[in-house]
C-alpha cells in the first residue's frame, strides 16, 4: 500500500510540515520505500518533483521539505510498489492535460482483473501500473461525456467519483485528483482529512517531533484542508472517510461530501 497526501487552501500555503511527516513514512517509520512524488499548482501551472528512491534518502525530497513552495492545490504520494516495477514512469502523481488544464492524480490500493474492462483510447499509460491505467480510463470517460469543458465543474467531479466507485469493484481504490482548482478525494479503505481555520492551534507530527504553531504561520482568513491516508498529527481530530464516499474541496472549503 502507498500513502496519499493532498492539500486545498484559499491562499498559497506551504506544505513542508505535512510533507515532512509523510516523508518519514517513506522508508523510516513506514514501508513506502519505492518512490515518492509531489505536484504543486501555481495558478494554471504546476510543477512536480518525483523520485523512484526512498523519500527519506532522496536529495530532491530534502529540497522540497526545506524549500517552502506555496500552492493552493497539492497532490503527493509515497509508494510501496505492487503492480508495476520501481521506476520513474511508475511514480505518482500522474499528470495529463484535459480542456487546457493540467489534471493530477495519485492512487493508493491495488486492482485485480481490470485490464479487459479498462480499455483506453485517447489517454494511454506510459508506465505499467494499474494506477496510471485507471487514471487514463477516467480521463477517457470524462472526455467522452464532456468533449468540451462544461461550466458546471461540480457535475464533472460527481461523474469522476462515480467512475472511482466502478474502479472500487476491482479492488482497493483510494484516490486524490485535482485540476488545480478543485481537489477530489475518493475512499475505498483509508483516507482522513482536516480543515484548519482561525482560531489556529498547535499540532505535533506523529512521525517526528516537529511541533508547529499554525497561528504563527497563518493569517486569520486562511482556510487550509489536508487529506492524508492516515492522520499526520497527534493532537487534532481528523475526519475519517467512509468506504465508497468522496469529498471535494475548493479553496480549502468542503464543497461536496457524500
Site residues (vs a copy of itself, CB under 8 A)? 42-52, 59-60, 63, 67, 87-91, 96-97, 99-102, 122-127
User: Strands (DSSP E) along 79-180, which ranges?
Assistant: 94-98, 101-108, 174-178
- Contact of 258 with 204, CB cutoff 8 Å: no
Smallest distance, a copy of itself to C-beta of residue 43, A: 6
Give the residue among 192, 178, 197, 199 at the shortest CA–CA distance from 72.
178
Q: In whole angstroms, give the CA distance from residue 47 to residue 40.
A: 5
Of 45 and 199, nearer to a copy of itself (C-beta) is 45
Of 51 and 130, nearer to a copy of itself (C-beta) is 51
Q: Parallel, antiparallel, or unpaired: how do β-strands 211-213 and 202-204 relate?
A: antiparallel
Of 26 and 190, nearer to a copy of itself (C-beta) is 26
Smallest distance, a copy of itself to C-beta of residue 91, A: 7
Of 59 and 242, nearer to a copy of itself (C-beta) is 59
Give CA separation, 5 vs 114, 155, 185, in Å.
25, 24, 10
Find all residues with CB under 8 Å of 188, minimum gap 6, and list them: 109, 168, 171, 172, 173, 174, 243, 244
Q: In whole angstroms, give the CA distance from residue 207 to residue 242.
A: 24
Smallest distance, a copy of itself to C-beta of residue 47, A: 5
Q: In whole angstroms, give the CA distance from residue 116 to residue 182.
A: 31
Of 30 and 125, nearer to a copy of itself (C-beta) is 125
Smallest distance, a copy of itself to C-beta of residue 194, A: 28
187 classed as catalytic: no
Smallest distance, a copy of itself to C-beta of residue 45, A: 3
List residues with catalytic annotation. 2
Amino acid at each position: 500500500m502507498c500513502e496519499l497526501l493532498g492539500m486545498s487552501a484559499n491562499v498559497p500555503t506551504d506544505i513542508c510540515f505535512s510533507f515532512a511527516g509523510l516523508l518519514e513514512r517513506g522508508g523510516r517509520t513506514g514501508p513506502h520505500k519505492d518512490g515518492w512524488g509531489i505536484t504543486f499548482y501555481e495558478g494554471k501551472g504546476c510543477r512536480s518533483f518525483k523520485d523512484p528512491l526512498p523519500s527519506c534518502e532522496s536529495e530532491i525530497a530534502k529540497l522540497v521539505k526545506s524549500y517552502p513552495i506555496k500552492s493552493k492545490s497539492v497532490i503527493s504520494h509515497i509508494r510501496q510498489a505492487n503492480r508495476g516495477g520501481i521506476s520513474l514512469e511508475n511514480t505518482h502523481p500522474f499528470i495529463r492535460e484535459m480542456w487546457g488544464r493540467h489534471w493530477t492524480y495519485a492512487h493508493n490500493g491495488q486492482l485485480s482483473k481490470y485490464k479487459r474492462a479498462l480499455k483506453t483510447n485517447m489517454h494511454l499509460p506510459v508506465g505499467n501500473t494499474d494506477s496510471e491505467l485507471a487514471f487514463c480510463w477516467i480521463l477517457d470517460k470524462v472526455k467522452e461525456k464532456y468533449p468540451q469543458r462544461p461550466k458546471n465543474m461540480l457535475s464533472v467531479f460527481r461523474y469522476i467519483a462515480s467512475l472511482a466507485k466502478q474502479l472500487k469493484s476491482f479492488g482497493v481504490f483510494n484516490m486524490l485528483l485535482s485540476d488545480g482548482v478543485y481537489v477530489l478525494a475518493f475512499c475505498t479503505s483509508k483516507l482522513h482529512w482536516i480543515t484548519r481555520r482561525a482560531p489556529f492551534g498547535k499540532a505535533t507530527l506523529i512521525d517526528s517531533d516537529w511541533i508547529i504553531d499554525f497561528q504563527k504561520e497563518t493569517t486569520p482568513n486562511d482556510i487550509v484542508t489536508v487529506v492524508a491516508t492516515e492522520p499526520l498529527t497527534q493532537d487534532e481530530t481528523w475526519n475519517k472517510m467512509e468506504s465508497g464516499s468522496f469529498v471535494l474541496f475548493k479553496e480549502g472549503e468542503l464543497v461536496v461530501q457524500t
